[in-house]
Amino acid sequence: MRFNTFTDYSLRVLMYLGTQGERLATIAEIAVAHDISENHLMKVVHQLGRSGYLTTIRGKGGGLRLARPPEDIVLGDVVRHTESDMALVECFSTGATCRIRQACRLKGILEEALVAMMLVLDSYTLADLLQEPEAMVKAIRIYAQHAPPSGAPS
């Protein structure tokens, strides 16, 4: 299974904000830190705000920060909010047309695997990802200083 880009960016935004404490960050700053399009991040931030993960403050001096402590943000919940389709294979979908679905055991095995993965994600919080926030901040700074400008050939 591969998470969609929206989920990946959502987790990155949460981790970034988790390293900032109460300081307001901006979409532009997060975009530079992760070399992600601001337009895409605006959609991610909007959804995270609507889901109660972020507080956004508009206007001059505005920005965003976590709406709750990192230890209250469960990774499995974030994934459930951001993944649009957890159907690992076609037979998970309604209206499946697979010809072997009546005799196939793959669907059951994959359902079991998906449940196990979500149980693991449910056992971790954003705080678990932020065990070494200084190292994460340092890595972002080093990348931002040495990365070519967005859109430039690497």
Q: What is the mean pLDDT of the chain?
A: 86
Q: Is residue 55 in some structural domain?
A: yes
CB burial class (10 A; 0-12, 13-18, 19+) of residue 136? middle
pTM of the predicted model, to two decimals? 0.82
pLDDT in tens, 73-127: 999 999 999 998 777 777 777 777 888 877 888 888 988 999 999 999 999 999 9
Helix (H) / strand (E) containing 110: helix 106-122
Is 151 inside any structural domain?
no
| Residue 154 domain-assigned (yes or no) | no
Specify the higher pLDDT residue, 3 or 137: 3
pLDDT (0 to 100) of residue 140: 72
Cβ atoms within 10 A of the Cβ of 89, count? 14
Selected residue with higher pLDDT from 49 and 91: 49
Q: Name the domain count of the chain.
A: 1
Q: Domain of 63?
A: 5-146
Query: CA 28 to CA 106: how far, in whole Å?
Result: 44
